[in-house]
Amino acid sequence: MKKQLWIVLAAVVLGSGSAGAKLSAQQQTYFNLLKGKMISNVNSVSSSGVRGGETNVALPGMEGMGMGMSSKDTLHLCSDGSYIRNLVDEAMGMKSSSRQTGKWTVGRANSAGFALMLTPKGNKVAKALNLSFDGERTVVNDERWYRMKSSACK
């Protein structure tokens, strides 16, 4: 009996943050807007300026130096509640990349939007990203991201 109770408790604790957890109507609406989508953000700094989302700011004194840095963050949000996150950084001709997988869900909404909860594979603690929609724009942690159909999952 103790073993069965432990299994039930473990299932409740582990299932509470999963995509199968009960969502409010508003959370379900946001989940439906994001499932099967990819959100992406590109930031770069070069001799022609700084680019972040839609912003471009010239950097005085860097003209013609051939210097540049960029980062691209893509987050594929699959319909089954899994995600794939790819981050590529490039600076001074050197490139590094990382890939993370895990589970995603929608956290409680607030006045500015809602929380996109990402739980990396092997972790029990979710990281919250503040996400909102302004018409067609998707904003993550106060930065413009682009939302489109995912090429990695449905």
Which structural domains are found in the chain, ordered by start?
2-149 (2.40.128.360)
Mean per-residue pLDDT for 72-101? Answer: 93
Q: Which amino acid is it at 77? A: L
Q: How far apart are CA 109 and CA 132, in angstroms?
A: 9
Q: Is the pTM of this model over 0.75?
A: no
Rounded CA-CA distance 4/8 in Å is 6
Q: How many CA atoms lie within 13 A of 12 on its CB side?
A: 6
148: pLDDT strictly greater than 60: yes
Q: Which residue in the block uniquely carries the two structure tokens 């210097």?
A: 67
Q: State the pLDDT confidence band at 12, using cuts at 50, 70 and 90.
A: very low
Strands (DSSP E) found in the chain: 37-46, 49-52, 55-57, 68-77, 82-91, 94-110, 113-120, 127-134, 137-140, 143-149
Q: Which residue has the higher pLDDT, 44 or 153?
A: 153
Q: Quick check: 63 and 47 in contact, CB under 8 A?
A: yes
- Confidence band, pLDDT 50/70/90 cuts, at residue 63: very low
